[in-house]
Amino acid sequence: MSDGKWIIGRQPILDRHERLVAYELLFRSPNGSDAHAGDSSFATASVVLGVLSGFGVRQILGGRQGYINVDGEFLFSDAIELLPTDRIVLEILETVEPTEMVVERCRLLKAAGFHLALDDHRFAPSFVPLYSFVDTIKIDLTLSPPEDLAAAVQRFRAYPARLLAEKVESREQFRQCLDLGFDFFQGYYFARPSVLERRRPGDSTAILLKVLRLLVQGAETDQIDQALRQAPGLTYKLLVLLNSVTFGLREPIATVRHAIIMLGQQQMRRWVQLALLAPDDSGLDNPLLDAAAVRATFMEHLAGRLPRDSRSDTTPEQAFMVGILSFLDAIYDTPMEEIVRGLNLSDEVGAALTKGEGILGELLAFAGRMEHFELDQAFAELDRLGITPQDALEAQWRAFGWRSASL
């Protein structure tokens, strides 16, 4: 695995209900010598195996499937058979020609339990032998004119494979592909706040913001409990979120009071922030909630690695809050300045959210670059932050595992 330091990028893959079902995994070394930004190819199966075993498949995928790109050399590597068949989808690159040897190799991998996908694919008669048993066919929207999509979908419907629309960049594209019958959808669009219809903050939101303000101020448990009782639906949503993750408790959390006592106000504050992002019925399968939790956890652990003269004891907790709240203005179509005023946040948190200023603002910008796999720019900023590449990689590992860490 080279020197053992590899960065993993994740792109969410959603089903027709916009629920998070899988990720495409991108691999790159910090110095960029083994792959290029935006290119998810990598050298060998042993690299992938080493990265996944080093990070932990469950830590990276959270129980979901992971699509990894496979070139011709990778396809015939013995190491590929050591990958977990129940978690990994082998995404065969468009550069792989469907020779008899390739088709036979794919049959053997399929028989071994692997799921197979064809990447950036257009119909071709030479691929007909593969169409009969591959699980997923990915169609890149940037390579397929809109007027050709319906015919492409109709042609592939003669085969059992599910269709995945790749590089969906707008809600209009998503709806078009949904109407055409695509089964899965992928693109940075789904990791942005616009994955949800923008909604004006209503009474429920106001109550959650009030509860968050009480938690920030260290209010008594009775005050927090009473505030949430004004909106029973919110209480239910919060408890669904809390019980969606294993906390290592002997019994499920049944009431808000129980949650505050068992978790403490700091943990409750974090879950209330997540509840602000989640639609009432999405639980942890909402891609925006997942993206926010990863960003917040990443920033928290980065903040803990800042030089002592750049942070205080509260900086990691503030960094977490900045990560979560950075999504709210787009979701609720409300100026960030208004959100900051309503929460009575610290000057440092407010400046990071409204102006991108201070060390928290720099961490927020760095996290954004990492999310978009803009690694050259991101790692160029590390020296200024006083954070080592290894610290950044460890923070990323912890962020991807936010579910098991219970925030």
321 and 205 in a common domain: yes
**pLDDT(130) > 80:** yes
Q: Higher-confidence residue: 86 or 196?
A: 86
228 and 171 in a common domain: no
**pLDDT(39) > 70:** no
Alpha-carbon separation of residue 132 from 49, 274, 317 (angstroms): 28, 43, 52
- Residue 389's pLDDT is 86
Read off the CATH number of the domain in which 225 is found.
1.10.3210.10
Radius of gyration of the chain (CA): 22
- Residue 278's pLDDT is 67
- Residue 405's pLDDT is 58
**pLDDT(50) > 80:** no
Q: Give the integer Cα–Cα distance in Å for 52 and 387.
A: 24
Quick one: pLDDT band at residue 1, thresholds 50, 70, 90?
A: very low
263 and 233 in a common domain: yes
Read off the CATH number of the domain in which 145 is found.
3.20.20.450
237 and 161 in a common domain: no
With beta carbons less than 8 A apart as the criterion, state whether 148 and 176 touch: no
Average pLDDT over residues 99-103: 97
The whole-model pTM stands at 0.77
Q: What SS3 state is found at 166?
A: strand
Q: Higher-confidence residue: 115 or 271?
A: 115
Containing structural domain, residue 328 = 193-407
- Residue 300's pLDDT is 93
Q: Higher-confidence residue: 192 or 176?
A: 176
By C-alpha distance, which of 304, 324, 278, 326 is closest to 388? 304
180 and 105 in a common domain: yes
290 and 141 in a common domain: no
Backbone angles phi, psi at 275, to 5 degrees: -60, -30
Tally Cβ neighbours within 10 Å of residue 13. 25
- Residues 323-368 have pLDDT tens digits of 988 887 767 767 888 878 877 778 899 999 999 999 999 999 999 9
**pLDDT(152) > 60:** yes
218 and 94 in a common domain: no
Q: Of 191, 208, 233, which residue sits at a domain end?
A: 191
Quick one: pLDDT band at residue 223, thresholds 50, 70, 90?
A: confident
Q: Of 191, 224, 244, which residue sits at a domain end?
A: 191
Is residue 255 in a domain?
yes
**pLDDT(377) > 90:** no
Q: Burial of 276 by CB count in 10 Å (0-12 exposed, 13-18 middle, 19+ buried)?
A: buried
Residue 81 CB contacts under 8 Å (≥ 6 apart), including other chains: 109, 112
Is residue 33 in a domain?
yes
Q: Of 161, 191, 221, which residue sits at a domain end?
A: 191
With beta carbons less than 8 A apart as the criterion, state whether 306 and 385 touch: yes
Average pLDDT over residues 173-184: 94
Q: Give the integer Cα–Cα distance in Å for 90 and 104.
A: 15
Is residue 2 in a domain?
no
Is residue 1 in a domain?
no
Is residue 333 in a domain?
yes
With beta carbons less than 8 A apart as the criterion, state whether 206 and 248 touch: no
Quick one: pLDDT band at residue 8, thresholds 50, 70, 90?
A: confident
Total domains, the chain:
2
390 and 249 in a common domain: yes
Q: Give the integer Cα–Cα distance in Å for 303 and 33.
A: 27
348 and 407 in a common domain: yes
204 and 106 in a common domain: no
By C-alpha distance, which of 75, 156, 58 is closest to 114? 75
341 and 248 in a common domain: yes
204 and 187 in a common domain: no
* Pick from 73-82, 123-132, 295-304, 348-357: least confident: 73-82
- Residue 224's pLDDT is 85
Average pLDDT over residues 106-135: 96
With beta carbons less than 8 A apart as the criterion, state whether 320 and 278 touch: no
Q: Give the integer Cα–Cα distance in Å for 67 and 74.
A: 14
Average pLDDT over residues 372-391: 86
With beta carbons less than 8 A apart as the criterion, state whether 386 and 307 touch: yes
Quick one: pLDDT band at residue 83, thresholds 50, 70, 90?
A: confident
- Residue 38's pLDDT is 39
